[in-house]
Amino acid sequence: MRRTLIALAALAIAVPASAALPVGAKAPDFQTTGAIAGKPFKLHLAEQLKKGPVVLYFFPKAFTSGCTAEAHAFSDASKDFQKAGARVIGMSADDLPTLEKFSVTECRNAFPVATASPAVIDAYDVKLPMVNMTNRTSYVIAQNGKVTMVHSEMSWKDHVAKSLAAVQALKH
């Protein structure tokens, strides 16, 4: 674990995050498993989009300092996202038991987190080089399935504000 964290820190400094899906692209549909409030659930992006826009945010590793801070920030803003009609979904390459715990302790039962399979990681182009983790990229996906905002940056600090602003702009 320590070696993974050191590698992640080195990559965060050395490799800027990047995302291949540009604004206007059709978001790839997928199905996976996840957890909300510690309970497993099935996630199908197309079903979530029927209810409104989706903020799909990828994070590298549950329980690391940046990912914990980001989960707290999304949790703190969850009512603002709900008011704007959007659903927040966190995604990482972590396994389901890890995400079940993370959904309770760090996401504070406010939103689901789900396992990003290698196919989803490839489709959204969020793989960190040389490790089996995603980079930190947030997508706002409109109800029609089109990407309306992409923020790809290893620092977690602007992801919530940029995602919320993009969701709120969809209402206008």
Q: What angle do CA 135, 48, 109 make, to 5 degrees?
A: 70
> In the structure encoding, which two tokens stand for residue 109, read together?
């039962």
Question: What are the DSSP calls for 29-91, one per residue?
Answer: P-EEEEEETTEEEEEEHHHHHTTS-EEEEE-S-TTSHHHHHHHHHHHHTHHHHHHTT-EEEEE
Cα separations in angstroms, 153 against 7, 9, 20, 107 = 17, 13, 13, 20
Residue 67 is among the residues annotated as catalytic for this protein: yes
Of the candidates 128, 91, 114, the residue with the CA atom closest to the CA atom of residue 8: 128
DSSP 130: T
The CA distance from 99 to 114, in Å, is 7
Catalytic residue among 67, 84, 120, 126: 67
Phi and psi, residue 130, nearest 5°: 70, 0
Catalytic residues: 67
